[in-house]
Amino acid sequence: MQRVFLSLVLGLLAACAKPHPLDALEPGERGRVVRILDGDALVLDTGQSVRLAGIEAPARPYKDREGEPFQEEARRMLEDMTLGREVQLFYAGLTRDRYDRALAQVRTTDALGPDLWLNAEMLRRGGARMRIYPDTAGGSEAFPELEAEARTERRGLWAKQAYRVPDASALPEGFERFRLVQGKVAGMTGSETFRTSCELALLNSSVRLEIANAAAAYCQLPEGTDVLARGYVREGRMEVSHRLNLQVLPPSPPPPPA
């Protein structure tokens, strides 16, 4: 009787347990990690390259482009967690990019170390920033909170001056790269492209936010709203491709009286 009661209790606890975000995704391939390319990319023993979805680690040097600060530390961070370990991929939509890399959430599955959700863990440790694409966004709802905690605690790359979030007005003319910026909404205009719902101007900044259809609700933000936006800046525009790539911030305090 006692054994039956215990079984019932354990069954109820399992039923009430909050499901893991990866449980809702499509299980993919398994393999052993044999190489780390950088803080958001690795290679399995099957030969498959994997790009960790939902995050952006500092870029390594490429051709004439210099590597970004903390890129080597981020690579070692992912290496320490995964090299030689078995992992499983999980898909939230699009499974391959144009380079035939798997676009996946990745979790360790062996007994060589703790059970780790690598995409989330890189954010939590400050090895990467969040970057969400609509076609691989599933499972990423907790990512803003994980990144915000790492940023507040100045873990990993957030301890570097290069990754302090600037006001949009401080970005130099001609800046091109992935970036987080803060600013105040100064106005909204329509868009002439089928992928973008509107453009938001930021106070005292030449950077405009291109709000993609997947984030169209932000077109209703009133002037003066403080926002944190992320995306690739090109020719003075930053595409906000998913709703998680923009957060509304608490109003900034008024300046002290003169």
> pLDDT digits over 175-186, tens only?
888 999 999 999
Distance CA 66, CA 80 (A): 24
Distance CA 199, CA 246 (A): 13
Query: Is the pLDDT assigned to residue 194 strictly greater than 90?
Result: no
- CATH 2.40.50.90 domain position(s) in the chain: 21-159
User: CA–CA distance from 180 to each of 9, 166, 169, 201 (Å)?
Assistant: 47, 7, 12, 15
Query: Is the pLDDT assigned to residue 1 strictly greater than 80?
Result: no
- CATH 2.40.50.140 domain position(s) in the chain: 165-248
Residue 25's pLDDT band, with cuts at 50, 70 and 90, is very high
Query: Is the pLDDT assigned to residue 174 strictly greater than 50?
Result: yes
Distance CA 176, CA 182 (A): 16
For residue 49, the one-letter residue type is S
Q: Which of 244, 57, 41, 76 is CA-nearest to residue 158?
A: 57
Q: Which CATH number fits domain 165-248: 2.40.50.140, 3.30.465.10, 3.40.50.970, 2.30.130.10?
A: 2.40.50.140
pLDDT at 65: 79
CATH of the domain spanning 21-159:
2.40.50.90
Task: DSSP letter for 100, please.
Answer: -
Mean pLDDT of the chain: 91
Query: pLDDT of 58-116, one tens digit each?
Result: 999 888 878 899 999 999 999 999 999 999 999 999 999 999 999 999 999 999 999 99
